[in-house]
Amino acid sequence: MSILGFLIPLALLMGLVGLGAFFWAMKSGQFEDLDGAANRILIEEEDEEDQR
Amino acid sequence: MNAPTPDLTTSDTCIDSRFTVPGMRCAGCIGKVERGLSVVPGVAAARVNFSAKRVAVSHAPELTEDAIIEELRKLGFEAERAADNPLGRDDAETKRLLRALAVAGFGMMNIMLLSVSVWAGADAVTREMFHWISALIAIPVIAYAGRPFFSSALMALRYRRTNMDVPISIGVLLATGLSLYETIVGGVHAYFDGAVMLLFFLLAGRVLDAMMRSRARSGIASLLGRMGRGAHVVQPDGSTQYMEAERLAPGMVMLVAAGEALAADGEIVDGRTNVDSSMLTGESDPRPAAVGDTIHAGMINLGNPVRVKVTAAAQDTALADIARLMDEAGQSRSRYVRIADKASRIYAPAVHSLAFLSFCGWMLAGAGVYHSLTIAVAVLIITCPCALGLAVPAAQVVASGALMKRGLLIKDGSALERLAEVDEALFDKTGTLTLGEPRPVDLAPLDPRARSVALALAQGSRHPLSRGLAHALREAGTEPAPLDDLAETAGMGMTARYDGQDVALVRPEVETAGLAVDLLIGGERTRMAFADPLRPDVRETIAALDAQGVRSGIASGDRVEAVDAVAATLGIPATGGMKPADKLDMLGARVEEGHKVLMVGDGLNDGPALAGAHVSIAPGGASDVSQQAADAVFVGERFMPVALAIRVARATMGIVRQNFAMAAVYNMFAVPLAIFGFVTPLIAAVAMSASSLVVVGNSLRLARAAGREDAA
């Protein structure tokens, strides 16, 4: 049973990491422009002016 | 927004401006706008938000916003400066709910992990430890994720009302409190998982509801902004400067270009033109205006650039009266009670008395306070109001998503509920039944060569007549001819050379009755008259409404003869020459007769009626005021979305009623189990998720139904 002492904190930690990642993503505007992100992959980059 | 800012060579004091660019439709447009703007001197960075159809430009203060709009126009995109989104407050609300949902999801998963081991038969010591860990996770999670419900329930109780959130809050708090007690005394049953899961499902419903609202509102916000929100004011040195409408003061001189709306009332001091007052009065024919004439805020300059001396601004304009009427009219709308709240008025007392009765019953049977309380909590948990909290928004989100694809943006779920009840429709004429833009009456006099020349000339200008002509020609499949030396003379027209001949698109030299332009090719002159045509599918729409039992009528501010002519073609009753207050009175009379009226209108003069009607729709070309007052906005030239909206709204309410029925059946089986004490946390968890999945699944059927209509 002592494995639980390791596994439960690990499960909680992983959950918290996921939660933190989601909060970060929301705060940094990752969800601001979902359609745009899908379309941007189709833009051909020009090497000399690396505009995104 | 989160783009890496390229290093700036000019200065590091950059200002940010935002523009709406409705014309961006593909990946190529994103690249074109961003690359095109970034090479403009003074622009540090440009970042497109494709979903919102906006571009954020970080630029040096020397570069004016007008210059950037001009640059965008050179790139081939019409742009407007974006004001602070008047509907943007919802965004913060959505984010708050999303965070709460994420926290509840985290808590639910971890607690469920522990609960499953307990249900699987963990021995006493392990069970106690797991209960303690569950409590440690659940209490902060409930405190955080439950806030939206607790605060709303408190608010309702403070005004001595109940809403959905009161039974939810009581259920969650009681379950948590009891489970905590159970944990402390080392009992068998803890409901932490049930309480957190309840919050998770209900939050999912709230998030869906909020996302629907903010999606539609950002769509509408990108349509706003064409109306006179500001003006170019002539400075003493002869230059012009852009000023917001609020900062305009009597005595200033505004330069109003063709196609611009006036931001304040004023008197023309220089130039002569035609003004379109359809937004303000509903009148469809443009009327000439010359030096000395007074023109009002909200009118659109169709002809030549004019200078207008401001006589009244902001609160004193003719618009302000309409705004006052709207405020009063809008108050009746707020009395509408949403279906979920209506249901919870019956549901909450029923559930609470059931729980209380089972508590009393078990007490009388001599079960003891603790055991009776456990039963009461089980009743509260098992009657989870998921059908109300999750099923209604799920159905409405699916419906509004389907409608959005068909060009109708619904602002919130309550609008869908009200749309379903409509039995009468009133339409404004100009801009609603008609396109609200001048279009050439007849393209037949032009041969293919003349058409392509005309298109090439027209698409170079922003003048309303040019735009109407270009649009009509493109519809007819015309390709523009290659022209040389294309030039625009303000107030005159477009000139160019084609095939060694002088070609021009100019206003007629003689005064004409309506709007007209002359196309010159060599020495040959062709006159084209312009009119504001009916939308292409008005007749079909009215027939479709009729089939759904919705009677149509016209309420217009235009001249009686003009209105009667349209009414006769469509075969529906009409009233013309109405003032904003008359329209409101007409609505009032209909309500007295017991009708629920849908108002469709675009002009400022429709504003009070839009705000006062049971439910209202505005076209995408409507004034900002109307779009904000209306419950929904349809885009494009077709009128059919109006009829479609009612059909989908009724289908949605059908699904919602089914969901309620299913919830009732579920409760009929589950509640007796709970009352007689057979419900354990395991059964509660299974029953709750199963009932939620069933109602959500049922709501999703709506997407299929809407998809079928697509094919039809």
Mind listing the domains of chain B with CATH numbers? 1-82 (3.30.70.100), 90-219+340-395+650-711 (no CATH), 229-262+264-312 (2.70.150.10), 413-435+535-630 (3.40.50.1000), 439-531 (3.40.1110.10)
Nearest Cα neighbor of B395 from B423, B419, B422, B417 is B417
Nearest Cα neighbor of B211 from B26, B29, B396, B79 is B396
Mutate to test the interface with A, among B96, B106, B405 (most CBs of A within 10 A): B106
B159 vs B344 pLDDT, higher one: B159
Cβ–Cβ gap A32/B30 under 8 Å:
no
Of A39, A41, A51, Cβ closest to residue B35: A51
Nearest-5° Cα angle at B464, B221 to B461: 100
Instruction: Please tell me the predicted confidence (pLDDT) of residue B229.
Output: 67
pLDDT at B711 over 50: no
| Phi, psi angle pair for B371, to nearest 5° | -65, -40
**Neighbouring residues of B524: CB distance < 8 A, sequence distance ≥ 6:** none
Residue A46 belongs to domain spanning? 3-50
Selected catalytic residue, list B90, B193, B428, B532: B428
pLDDT single digits (tens) B303-335: 777 888 888 776 666 666 777 777 776 666 666
Report the C-alpha gap between B210 and B342 in whole angstroms.
20
Cβ–Cβ gap B34/A26 under 8 Å:
no
| Phi, psi angle pair for B472, to nearest 5° | -65, -40
Instruction: Please tell me the predicted confidence (pLDDT) of residue A46.
Output: 60
- Across the A/B interface, how many CB contacts are shorter than 8 Å? 70
pLDDT at B58 over 50: yes
Of B1, B6, B133, Cβ closest to residue A32: B1
- The highest-confidence range among B97-101, B279-283, B369-373, by mean pLDDT, is B97-101
pLDDT at A19 over 90: yes
Contact B35, B4 (CB under 8 A): no
Judging contacts by C-beta atoms under 8 Å, the chain B residues touching residue A18 are 106
This prediction has a pTM of 0.76
**Neighbouring residues of B319: CB distance < 8 A, sequence distance ≥ 6:** B280, B296, B297, B298, B604, B625
Instruction: Please tell me the predicted confidence (pLDDT) of residue B576.
Output: 83
Cβ–Cβ gap B39/A52 under 8 Å:
no
Residue with tokens 């009244």: B312
- The highest-confidence range among B228-232, B423-427, B447-451, B553-557, by mean pLDDT, is B423-427
Cβ–Cβ gap A39/B26 under 8 Å:
yes
Instruction: Please tell me the predicted confidence (pLDDT) of residue B86.
Output: 47
Enumerate chain A positions whose Cβ falls within 8 A of a Cβ in B: 1, 4, 8, 11-12, 15-16, 18-19, 22-23, 26, 28-30, 32-36, 39-44, 46, 49, 51-52
Nearest Cα neighbor of B419 from B338, B529, B525 is B338
Over residues A5-14, the mean pLDDT reads 88
pLDDT single digits (tens) B360-386: 999 998 888 888 888 888 888 887 666
Sheet harboring B408-410: ordered strands across? B408-410, B632-634, B615-619, B597-600, B424-427, B551-555, B574-575
Of A12, A26, A36, Cβ closest to residue B48: A36
Distance (Å) from the C-alpha of residue B124 to the closest C-alpha of chain A? 13
| Phi, psi angle pair for B49, to nearest 5° | -105, 105
Judging contacts by C-beta atoms under 8 Å, the chain B residues touching residue A29 are 1-2
Q: For residue B558, give the DSSP letter.
A: S
* B428 included as an active-site residue: yes
Report the C-alpha gap between B242 and B225 in whole angstroms.
15
Instruction: Please tell me the predicted confidence (pLDDT) of residue A51.
Output: 44
The predicted complex's ipTM stands at 0.82
Total number of domains in chain A? 1
pLDDT single digits (tens) B679-701: 888 888 888 888 888 888 888 88
Mutate to test the interface with A, among B24, B30, B99, B130 (most CBs of A within 10 A): B30
The lowest-confidence range among B65-69, B459-463, B530-534, B628-632 is: B459-463
Per-residue confidence band for B704, with pLDDT thresholds at 50, 70 and 90: confident
Nearest Cα neighbor of B376 from B359, B363, B401 is B359
Instruction: Please tell me the predicted confidence (pLDDT) of residue B105.
Output: 93
Nearest Cα neighbor of B481 from B525, B441, B521 is B521
pLDDT single digits (tens) B222-238: 666 555 567 788 887 87
High-pLDDT (> 70) share of chain B, %: 90
Report the residue of chain B nearest A5, measured CA to CA.
B129
